[in-house]
Structure 1
Amino acid sequence: MNAENAASSDKPLLKVLLCSPRGFCAGVVRAIDSVEQALKRYGAPVYVRHEIVHNRYVVESLKAKGAIFVEELDEIPETNAPVIFSAHGVPKSIPEESQRRNFFHLDATCPLVTKVHREAEIHHKRGRDILLIGHAGHPEVVGTLGQLPDGAITLVQTVEEAETVTPRDSNNLAYVTQTTLSLDDTAEIVATLKRRFPNIIAPHKEDICYATTNRQEAVKRVAPTVDALVVVGAPNSSNSRRLQEVAEREGCRYSVLVQRAADIDWSKFEGIKTLGVTAGASAPEVLVEEILDSFAARYKLDVQTVSGADESGMFFPLPRQLRDTAAA
């Protein structure tokens, strides 16, 4: 037996259940491709308002290629360079300001977020009060609130708030939701609103996006069967944080959200026999592989994929201005 085989045999066995689907969704792919194609077509710099997606690895990779990230448009000098809006969506005031400054802007908002914006606009035109189920301060929520005049949309974050919210006209009411919420938490809030306001109008199709739904369902299957579960993602990523919460709710003894392998507290994994691994919709697969490599340095891995919904057919076209570049 050579030294490598001996070292391998000394490692404890760890069964790893790898959730599928995990990682990038079609909206994230579209947003990242928008920045990369803009750099290819127009050259550096390309300005991006807010993180294009909530993942530091992705942002740093795009910075290295020539993207400049800003939080507000007033950080951008007078320029002919493209200005890209992130996947989370922006208030209407942002493209309006961009036009005033004669910026060439590209909108990388996820089409499923745009769908929520359009729903809210339609409800407003029909004179309805609108409730938005979501988390205060999240860029997607800020963008949705900013589609309409102040006061047109009321934010509801919890079941408790759903119990106390007082719309102006309870018989002329609709709700929309942030796309990256917990399915279970949202269902409780919606049930409360429907009980209090039986005539409330729901979205024609669930606002929580397919990727959020599919990743949470995969975690629900894995979490009860493992000793610990790792979610690869950023702390400011709503969908990643919800995956950790789902794992805890489903009975996983220890679940943790990490950005990189260096973030792992190995003392928390002592004695485990089974491990679940997933990734938020903005986390690249290379980071999942990095996590697995770190466990492989300490354990002999038996990796099994737990497959759920098939997302292979999901695709969103790039912003119109970039499509010919991508095709070429």
Structure 2
Amino acid sequence: MTKPPLTLYLAAPRGFCAGVDRAIKIVEMALEKWGPPVYVRHEIVHNKFVVDGLRDKGAVFVEELDECPDDRPVIFSAHGVPKAVPAAAAAREMIYVDATCPLVSKVHIEAQRHSDNGLQMVMIGHAGHPETVGTMGQLPEGEVLLVETVEDVATVEVRDPERLAYVTQTTLSVDDTADIVAALQARFPTIVGPHKEDICYATTNRQEAVKAMAPKCDAMLVVGAPNSSNSKRLVEVGARAGCRYAQLVQRATDIDWRALEGIRSVGITAGASAPEVLINEVMDAFSEHYDVTREVVETAVENVEFKVPRVLREPA
């Protein structure tokens, strides 16, 4: 039986970003240096395949520092942690390595600088997301107010409307965030913004590639985890950019082939914590069902690299 033809558009950039790459490398180097087990507070990045692979090598994933013994190294995830966490690790004289993405650390530094200048912070982010928890935990209780939507801006209660600054989670929808920033600026005209956009280059680049790809596609699949903020935003961006069927899949086994019946083109991209092996797995699955012609939709070239902490570069 002949396979139906299908044009497969592949977004570029897609998948791993420099911060994720660095965080995974930190766990692998820690295991090499100190041997297993090495403890990791929270999933190092939001991807089950990656986490399971590191667990197989001897990483132990926990939610809180209390679950770690004093005598084994602990790594803090790429999303960042409240200030109280490294302070508690230091008090217990633990070896700890901070795998916080440098672009998240930039937001932490920014928040502290504004606070030192007497400004109360407004954070645009998702409640409960580890990055939001980590950023809000850089300052004392009440110093960072969270807004998730344009509607939240109307009701947020501030100490002094003339003494405000804002920061954002690094993995948000660029367009949604712009609307929230506009609402903040309309209500608080003197609010101070970041020197440089907080939404990271990787989030922005992946969303731009999806916007370019979506109008060409009957369907779009985003390879990523359901708890990955940047992956879920890619689905939303794809749908908003004109793709009538945009779905998140963790693996090729999650593809709903019945929903794709009759399509002639599909776009594939991946969140910043999804490895290329899973993207290839999805593309191979399409090749089994269709006579595939591949086209790359490239909107940017990334060559960012972040160094791992010095403690891992020094001999044991």
- Normalising by the smaller structure, the TM-score range is over 0.9
Is 1:317–1:323's contact at 8 Å kept on the other side of the alignment? no
- Residue aligning to 1:38: 30
Secondary structure of 1:201 counterpart: coil
User: Which residue of structure 2 lines up, in the alignment, with residue 322 of structure 1?
Assistant: 312
Report whether the alignment pairs 1:163 with 2:154: yes
What CA distance in whole angstroms lies between the structure 1 residues aligned with 2:192 and 2:292?
Answer: 49
Please list every run of 5 or more consecutive structure 2 residues that lacks an aligned counterpart in the other structure. none
> Does 2:75 match 1:70?
no
Partners of 2:218 and 2:123 in 1: CA distance: 36
Secondary structure of the corresponding residue to residue 253 of structure 1: coil
Report the count of equivalent residues: 316
Instruction: For residue 132 of structure 1, give the secondary structure of its aligned residue in structure 2.
Output: strand
Q: Is the 8 A contact 1:19 1:305 kept in 2?
A: yes
* 1:207 CA drift (Å): 0.1
1:42 maps to a residue whose letter is: W
Residue identity matched to 1:37: M
Q: Deviations over 1:236-292 (max 9, x none)?
A: 000000000000111111000010011111111100000000000000000000001
Q: Normalised by the size of structure 1, how large is the TM-score? A: 0.95
Taking the aligned partners of 1:166 and 1:77, their CA distance within structure 2 comes to 41
TM-score by length of 2: 0.98
Does 2:108 correspond to 1:105?
A: no
Instruction: Provide the C-alpha distance between the structure 2 equivalents of 1:168 and 1:94, rounded to a whole number of angstroms.
Output: 27
Paired with 2:29 and 2:135, the residues of 1 have a C-alpha distance of 27
Q: Does 1:56 align with 2:48?
A: yes
Alignment-derived partner of residue 287 in structure 1: 278
Separation (CA, whole Å) in 1 of partners of 2:70 and 2:173: 41
Q: Which residue of 1 aligns with 2:291?
A: 300
> Which of 204, 209, 230 is equivalent to 1:213?
204
In structure 1, what is the equivalent of residue 163 of structure 2?
172
Deviation at residue 163 of structure 1 after TM alignment? 2.1
Please report how far the alpha carbon of residue 135 of structure 1 lies from its aligned counterpart in structure 2 after TM superposition. 0.3
Amino acid at match of 1:275: V
Work out the percentage of aligned pairs sharing the same amino acid.
62
Mean Cα deviation higher: 136-145 or 39-48 = 39-48
Spell out structure 1 runs of 4+ moving beyond 4 A: none
**2:237 aligned partner:** 246
Give the distance between the partners of 1:84 and 1:267, measured in 2 at CA.
42
- Structure 2 residue aligned with 1:24, among 4, 11, 16? 16
C-alpha deviation, 1:324, in angstroms = 4.0
What secondary structure is seen at the aligned counterpart in 1 of 2:300? coil
Alignment map for 1:82-161 (pairs within 5 Å)? 82-161=73-152
